[in-house]
Structure 1
């Protein structure tokens, strides 16, 4: 397969040609990743601390097989507890709603789902999915999250 034409590093003022598709030269790639990681926070800051680790391990003990592989007729061990509707920082409801918003997935299925669904979901679609889940299970949604400006759903 032919390689893409080289392009200039995306760092302002850098004219080094990049051939690997990352967009950054060797000198700026690490810096760009650090900026993203700093904005994102570490796993504990995103809610994945000790409490999550224990909940995840317990859930995977009860649900050891990948749900998506099972739907497709395959047998694969689950390694990831996926939030069906991405929590996006909603720790009061979506993050901990294990009975209705968690599913066991293998790494490949989780990566596929995250790239195709979670990252493509608009704010309005997310809010609609969250409200639909709350209605389905009879949970009152708190005003804080509902008041993010998406009240027309």
Structure 2
């Protein structure tokens, strides 16, 4: 069995903190909690804005679809199939975590493909946003 050496000790990323850490976040134990709380708040705000936008831009049918138990199950299947990685980044030999399940053929164009596994792909926010921005 190969044993990896521990990460080198580095100064905590929190300004004026003198603690050393090996944690992948770059924060000492004391400041890691603060950092994770900030991330949690940022995600909650992003989710709130996203949900608010969905209600404004999509009709009830689409909103209910994206909140359905069946969609949650299919999303998990796709993430497992795609190993939780952004498939478009992977094609460019970049390893990046997937954040979104994207419909290749939009459900507005073909409602019947909403659960079609061959019509779904795992993407990172960056790829998904670039794609939709280019669609205009």
Are the structure 2 counterparts of residues 40 and 72 from structure 1 closer, same or farther at C-alpha, using a change threshold of 3 Å?
A: same
1:68 aligned onto 2:88: yes
Q: Which structure carries more helix by proportion? A: 2
| RMSD of Structure 2 on Structure 1 (CA) | 2.7
Counterpart residue number, 2:23: none
Counterpart residue number, 1:82: 102
Q: Secondary structure of the residue that 1:59 maps to in structure 2?
A: helix
The TM-score, its normalising length taken from structure 2, stands at 0.51
Q: Secondary structure of the residue that 1:47 maps to in structure 2?
A: helix
| Gapped regions of structure 1 (runs ≥ 5) | 1-33, 121-153
Q: Deviations over 1:96-135 (max 9, x none)?
A: 2212x11110111111112213xx4xxxxxxxxxxxxxxx
The TM-score, its normalising length taken from structure 1, stands at 0.46
Q: Which runs of 4+ in 1 moved over 3 A?
A: 34-39, 41-46
Matches within 5 A, 1:88-103: 88=108, 90-92=110-112, 94-99=113-118, 101-103=119-121
| Gapped regions of structure 2 (runs ≥ 5) | 1-51
Task: Say how many residue pairs are matched.
Answer: 83
CA displacement at 1:58 relative to structure 2: 1.7
